[in-house]
Amino acid sequence: MSEGLAEPIAIVLLVAVLAFAIIRPRGLPEAVAAAPAGLLVAATGLITWGETWEQVTTMAPTIAFLAGVLMLSKLCEAEGMFAAAGAFMARRANGRPVTLLGLVFAVSALVTAVLSLDATVVLLTPVVFATAARSGVRPTPHVYATAHLSNSASLLLPVSNLTNLLALSAAGISFLQFGALMAGPWLVAIAVEYVVFRRYFASELSVHATPDDDVEDVPNPVFALVVLACTLVGFALSSPLGIEPFWAALAGVVVLAIKRLATRAVAPGRLAATLVEAANPWFLVFVLGLAMVVKAVVDHGLADWLRTFLPTGGDLLSLLLIALVAAVLANVVNNLPAVLVLLPLVADGGALPVLAVLIGVNVGPNLTFVGSLATLLWRRILADHDHETELGEFTRLGLLTVPASLVLCTMALWGGAQLMGV
């Protein structure tokens, strides 16, 4: 195929796949468009079959890891971890909206960091709705917090976001080094969000409520917390031991699954169905198909255009520009395609440019609804709870948080790297 045709065809396919993922006509999974598009770019020669197979083998460990984390999150929910978190927040807040907001921030940040942004959006947001109702407070500040923190608080660990998993190998650093470098940006992002939320939602947070006295006493899921802690240790040890971190996630899944079977909490067939559903095979296929389409776009013009102005150095100014470009691109084409586009272009510059891309694609999506798939899913969950989300309000809140977070988080990354000698 001639280059003159290849570039527009690749762009049209990418736009079509993203539009389908955002609209999801008749509730069809994103893979319905992404899988045929991925096969089409190979069949038409936009990428070779060899490159297609290389994409599959390169993405396979990351996709397996994602599936493992999703299953682990679901089992943690089944063990009562999220219900216990909701009961804890309701008791401690005792009708005080500001206290509840602080607790939602803390829980959302930890859940996002340890169990991924998907767990925060899908599993924690409904709990926050229930907790707000139980506490008698207005839910808007608190459910908006889960949306923002599902993105900005996903900076800490490779397991926190699929974008991080994709970037880990490109950065050429270990699990622990990743966490050490991103700890500063993670804390800064959470602090910026909290300060802005306190001021932006001041009127909603000023109304003291009368909580529901009948707060259910939920037992602490000690066993699940211990398994989760051991799994995190396994993630940290995977790099030094030279094994894929998926095996640590799988071990956590197996232990919790055996416990549920041994206590007869669920039938084997039902447990298997639940785990398959939690792994979300359709979404995994979507990720793989999207990666192929993005490669076709990058190979046929986009990479050359971005290279004309995208720096690859590790100085502060270069990192700020990389984070800005990544944020803009995430809000134009969604953060997952953005990270797939940018990683090959900055990887030669070392770990810092790669991590600057993550700041852009993880913090930037808080500016618009289309910035990340997690935000789109969050909107659907709010609609299920008869809670309207206004584009104007979401964008205004994003304008107050995103620019400051991009700059301050990038400065924290650069400063931490200087202290660590990276």
Chain segment 196-222, per-residue pLDDT in tens: 999 999 998 987 777 666 656 778 889
Is residue 29 included in any domain, yes or no?
Answer: yes
Is residue 33 included in any domain, yes or no?
Answer: yes
Q: What is the mean pLDDT of residues 230-244?
A: 85
Ranked by mean pLDDT, the top range of 85-89, 239-243, 359-363, 364-368 is: 359-363
Picking from 192, 185, 104, 170, the residue whose alpha carbon sits closest to that of residue 346 is 170
- Cα-based angle 277, 282, 285 (whole degrees, multiple of 5): 135
Banded pLDDT at 30 (limits 50, 70, 90): confident
- Whether the pLDDT of residue 361 is over 90: the answer is yes
Picking from 359, 365, 333, 364, the residue whose alpha carbon sits closest to that of residue 346 is 359
Is residue 294 included in any domain, yes or no?
Answer: yes
Picking from 54, 48, 52, the residue whose alpha carbon sits closest to that of residue 35 is 52
pLDDT in the model for residue 317: 96
- Whether the pLDDT of residue 354 is over 90: the answer is yes
Is residue 222 included in any domain, yes or no?
Answer: no
Q: What is the mean pLDDT of residues 159-167?
A: 89
The total domain count for the chain is 1
Kindly state the tokens that stand for 26: 């008749």
Is residue 312 included in any domain, yes or no?
Answer: no
pLDDT in the model for residue 214: 61
Picking from 59, 24, 23, the residue whose alpha carbon sits closest to that of residue 293 is 59
The Cα-based distances of 25 to 14, 29, 30, 412 in angstroms read 17, 9, 10, 41
User: What 3-state class would DSSP assign to 2?
Assistant: coil
Average pLDDT value over all residues in the chain? 89
The Cα-based distances of 317 to 236, 296, 397, 421 in angstroms read 31, 30, 26, 18
Banded pLDDT at 71 (limits 50, 70, 90): very high
Domain span including residue 13: 1-46+285-298
Please give the share of the chain, as a percent, with pLDDT higher than 70. Answer: 98
Is residue 248 included in any domain, yes or no?
Answer: no
pLDDT in the model for residue 400: 96
Is residue 9 included in any domain, yes or no?
Answer: yes
pLDDT in the model for residue 4: 66
Is residue 186 included in any domain, yes or no?
Answer: no
- pLDDT tens digit string along 379-397? 878 877 778 777 788 899 9
- Whether the pLDDT of residue 100 is over 80: the answer is yes
